[in-house]
């Protein structure tokens, strides 16, 4: 693959490169679909008109992110309140070994998906990558469904994070209404995203760094306590790892472990943000693979390391019954203000998750406008390369989700949460299948594997394993009674999305007219 094919010509400024890459019209992209180079440059007159219209609207995003930003953004989207607050409940369900096993299997599934995403993101670094790939390699209807699914995932998350921020601040300011702090969070996160992609990335780097530091400190201090180097309440000797197998490997049986694997899949959703950011990343062919590998092993270290420490120091039946297991461990060791410290860490986790969520939701709206799925002016950017209309639309969706959590928590919001839980798995299934089709078309169009700057290792076994495991995770939800409603809601929603697409396809004007 030469430089012009990959969209990274030597001597070009990053912003100039993004014009072609961000619209997904590079030669590699089109040739992977079996088109010749002449057709890729000028498939029809409408395409030329649209290309000129791109510059009239100014729809170019800026490549302002580096590898360190990608790694922290991906971590920031994954490490949230689930690890800090809800991990004790997970341990109670599956037991220590069962929880560790579930997180290990979940990490493997996500890693396989990320390996397939790496090949696609490097070959076609387009913002809003998932639905663009689904559009090209599966079909426009599926592209539309994937876009809506992923947008919904983060929009619902925004509503819950804004609520959580207000509740967390109540610990320090109990007399202040919750909505004031939620509003402050909304203003802060909106501003971080509105200034520039670089400002967003630096803010996310700061928020995620605090979380990462807290987890590393927890693991380090916990290990010192485990081996008896520092004292911990309730033990006169080094606890070591006896609590992990005290009541057997699977004290509640194996089925709770299976249910936990499903929960873990949802917990790891957010790693695919690497694909969303590829279109705004400098040197994606180097940054994306590095971010994929480093992010996954860090997630395994942070999640499994934290849970191992919790289970070793606290009897698993007592882990996080009414309090964060992190606070329980810190209090047992005698660290002062443990509750306040963790409240601050969880607050930064909330800010980080909402920051990443608003970015992801915004870029999905921008990408749908850029691809003509919705009116094209949603793809318009300002002089700083920020799609303000898409940002406002994404924030509006988050505010509606927040409103539904207040006035219709048991109906509308319950359905939204159920849908968002499985939407990420649907996106992963699409990613794995798109890579399989992409590789086939790449080879069929006369290219060789060696031309790819990054190749999914172990193809096709890794790709099919990712597809099969994600599909199994989705289907087997039916065996978990607590999540069966989510599966039904998700299937109905998918059918509804396809129906909306095909109905509107007959009613709306051709895409070229939309883009005029």
Condensed to tens digits (0 to 9), the pLDDT of residues 119-158 reads 998 888 876 678 889 999 999 999 999 999 988 888 888 8
The pLDDT of residue 63: 57
The alpha-carbon radius of gyration of the chain (Å, integer) is 23
Who's near 380: CB < 8 A, 6+ residues apart? Answer: 57, 58, 59, 369, 387, 388, 389
- Answering whether pTM is above 0.85, one says no
What are the residue ranges in the chain where pLDDT is below 70? Answer: 1-67, 69, 71, 74, 76-77, 127-128, 278-280, 319-323, 508-516
- The angle formed by the CA atoms of residues 11, 279 and 199, to the nearest 5 degrees, is 95
Alpha carbons 393 and 161: distance in angstroms, whole number: 17
Nearest-angstrom CA–CA distance, 24 and 20: 6
Start-end of H helices in 170-283:
178-195, 197-226, 255-267, 273-277
Neighbours of 11 (CB within 10 A): 6
- 276 vs 74: CA distance, rounded Å: 10
CATH superfamily of 73-506: Amino acid/polyamine transporter I (1.20.1740.10)
Query: Which phi and psi angles does 216 have, rounded to 5°?
Result: -60, -40
Beta bridge partners of 281: 65
Phi, psi for residue 55 in degrees, rounded to 5: -70, -30
In this prediction, residue 295 carries a pLDDT of 73
Domain ranges of the chain: 73-506
State the Cα–Cα distance between residues 333 and 321, nearest whole angstrom: 18
Q: What is the DSSP letter of 61?
A: P
Categorise residue 282: left if φ over 0, alpha if ψ from -120 to 50, beta otherwise: beta
20: Cα within 13 Å, side-chain hemisphere: 22
Structure tokens at 343: 């409240």
Do 342 and 320 touch, CB atoms closer than 8 A? no
Q: Is 32 exposed, middle or buried (0-12, 13-18, 19+ CB in 10 A)?
A: buried
Three-state secondary-structure class, residue 124 = coil
Question: Which region holds residue 80: left if phi is over 0, alpha if psi is between -120 and 50, else beta?
Answer: beta
CA 181 – CA 25 distance, rounded (Å): 43
CB 190 within 8 A of CB 359: no
- Residue 213 has φ and ψ, to the nearest 5°, of -60, -45
């Amino acid at each position: 693959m030469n430089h012009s094919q990959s969209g990274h010509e030597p001597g070009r400024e990053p912003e100039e490169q993004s014009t072609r890459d961000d619209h997904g019209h590079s030669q590699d992209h089109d040739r992977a679909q079996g088109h010749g180079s002449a057709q890729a440059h000028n498939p029809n007159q409408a395409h030329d008109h649209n290309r000129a219209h791109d510059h009239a609207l100014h729809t170019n995003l800026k490549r302002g992110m580096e590898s360190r930003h990608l790694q922290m953004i991906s971590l920031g989207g994954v490490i949230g309140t689930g690890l800090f607050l809800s991990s004790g409940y997970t341990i109670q369900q599956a037991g220590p070994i069962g929880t560790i096993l579930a997180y290990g299997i979940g990490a493997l599934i996500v890693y396989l998906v990320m390996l397939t995403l790496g090949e696609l993101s490097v070959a076609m670094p387009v913002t809003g990558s998932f639905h663009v790939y689904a559009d090209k390699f599966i079909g426009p209807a599926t592209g539309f469904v994937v876009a809506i699914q992923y947008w919904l995932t983060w929009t619902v998350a925004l509503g819950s994070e804004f609520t959580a921020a207000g509740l967390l601040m109540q610990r320090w300011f109990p007399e202040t209404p919750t909505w004031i702090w939620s509003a402050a969070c909304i203003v802060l996160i909106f501003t971080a995203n509105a200034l520039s992609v670089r400002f967003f990335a630096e803010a996310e780097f700061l928020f995620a760094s605090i979380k990462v530091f807290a987890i590393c400190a927890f693991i380090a201090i916990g290990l010192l306590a485990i081996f008896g180097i520092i004292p911990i309440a309730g033990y006169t000797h080094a606890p070591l790892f006896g609590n992990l197998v005290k009541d057997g490997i699977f004290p509640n049986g194996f089925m709770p472990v299976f249910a936990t694997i499903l929960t873990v899949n949802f917990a790891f959703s957010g790693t695919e943000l690497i694909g969303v950011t590829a279109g705004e990343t400098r040197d994606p062919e180097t940054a994306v693979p590095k971010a994929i590998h480093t992010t996954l092993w860090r997630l395994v270290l942070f999640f499994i390391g934290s849970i191992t420490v919790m289970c070793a120091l606290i009897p698993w039946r007592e882990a996080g019954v009414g309090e964060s297991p992190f606070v329980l461990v810190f209090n047992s060791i005698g660290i002062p203000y443990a509750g306040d410290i963790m409240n601050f860490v969880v607050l930064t986790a909330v800010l980080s998750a909402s920051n990443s969520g608003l970015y992801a939701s915004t870029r999905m709206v921008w990408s749908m406008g850029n691809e003509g799925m919705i009116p094209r002016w949603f793809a318009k950017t300002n002089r700083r390369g920020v799609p303000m209309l898409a940002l406002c639309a994404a924030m509006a969706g988050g505010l509606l989700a927040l409103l539904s959590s207040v006035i219709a928590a048991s109906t509308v919001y319950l359905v939204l949460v159920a849908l968002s839980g499985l939407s990420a798995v649907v996106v992963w299934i699409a990613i794995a299948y798109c890579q399989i089709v992409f590789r086939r078309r790449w080879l069929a169009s006369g290219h060789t594997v060696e031309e790819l700057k990054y190749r999914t290792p172990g193809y096709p076994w890794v790709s099919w394993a990712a597809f099969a495991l994600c599909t199994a995770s989705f289907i087997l939800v039916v065996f978990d009674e607590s999540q069966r409603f989510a599966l039904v809601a998700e299937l109905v929603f998918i059918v509804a999305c396809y129906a909306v697409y095909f109905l509107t396809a007959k009613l709306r004007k051709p895409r070229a007219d939309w883009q005029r």
